[in-house]
Amino acid sequence: MRDQYAGDITDFLKFFYIRSVVPPRSKLGVAWYYIPTHDGRLDGRHTEYLAEEQWSLLDGNLHSELATLGDTRSVAALQRLKIWRPQTCFHDEPVEYRTMRASWSSSMVTRLKSCDVVFADPDNGLSREGIINRKSATPSEISDLAHSGRSVILIRFPSRDGTHLEQLQRYHSVLAAYTPITVRTCVILSNSTGRRFPRIRWFTLINPSDEMRVSIRHFATQLASLHDASAVVSEAV
């Protein structure tokens, strides 16, 4: 997660997912996988949804709180919004490089130890085994976060490496030990020039409870009710 992304359409989707799926009595932990530098890309500029009423109808409090960010968009500003349940725990130490990654990972796991559900938010989702990248969570980090059956939420941006179904099957096979369930979302937005563009985001829950499974399907139904939006729930076989 980078400051430049704070408050964009992806943030609305992931926070709406968290608010919809995590049980009210559960303590939430957020592992930002924070990278404080700008990556030079235009990613994070899509805040057009703030001017569209349908998003406000979906979650009015979340919509209005994200609108208050204005030009103060940052991870620190997100943490100050009134969208989090009491006692939410954040790990916002900048992600370390290879030589310091183990100690950083240990610090993250320790910081979120008391949480019942953890949301992990690296830029590029889950890395392949043996690959250490600041923009990705490693399989061992996710394993540590999911220790003792704890539920963990992961975000994924599908690539062009095969069809989406092929990618989903490979992804679920990697996470098979945790009985993953994924919601594949797509929303189509219009920018200031009228150009329309899709935004595809997948949200995967590992170690889901029965209650959370029901909530996931409700989330998908709500999102799919919007104009130019879809949400498909897929469980590992």
Domain boundaries, given as residue ranges, for the chain: 3-176
Average pLDDT over residues 130-151: 93
C-alpha closest to that of 226 among 195, 185, 196, 183 = 185
pLDDT of residue 94: 96
Least confident of 4-18, 46-60, 84-98, 213-227: 46-60
* CA dist., res. 133 & res. 155, Å (int): 16
Secondary structure of residue 183 in the 3-state scheme? strand
Average pLDDT over residues 90-107: 93
Question: Mean pLDDT of all residues in the chain?
Answer: 91
Q: Which of 36-40, 45-49, 179-183 has the highest mean pLDDT?
A: 179-183
Report pLDDT digits (tens) over 201-236. Answer: 999 999 999 999 999 999 999 999 998 999 999 997
pLDDT of residue 40: 60
* CA dist., res. 55 & res. 133, Å (int): 34
In the structure encoding, which two tokens stand for residue 120, read together?
Answer: 């992990």
Task: Answer whether residue 72 shows pLDDT above 70.
Answer: yes
Task: Answer whether residue 67 shows pLDDT above 60.
Answer: yes
Task: Answer whether residue 14 shows pLDDT above 60.
Answer: yes
* CA dist., res. 204 & res. 208, Å (int): 10
Is 31 in contact with 121 (CB distance < 8 Å)?
A: yes
| Beta strands per DSSP E along 71-110 | 89-91
Report pLDDT digits (tens) over 102-117. Answer: 999 999 999 999 999 9
pLDDT of residue 237: 67
Report pLDDT digits (tens) over 158-202. Answer: 888 889 999 999 999 999 999 999 999 999 877 666 777 788 999
C-alpha closest to that of 208 among 159, 170, 166, 153 = 153
* CA dist., res. 206 & res. 181, Å (int): 7
Helix or strand run (H / E) with residue 153: strand 151-156
C-alpha closest to that of 219 among 183, 188, 186, 189 = 183
Is 157 in contact with 122 (CB distance < 8 Å)?
A: no
Identify residue 223 by its one-letter amino acid code: L
Identify residue 170 by its one-letter amino acid code: R
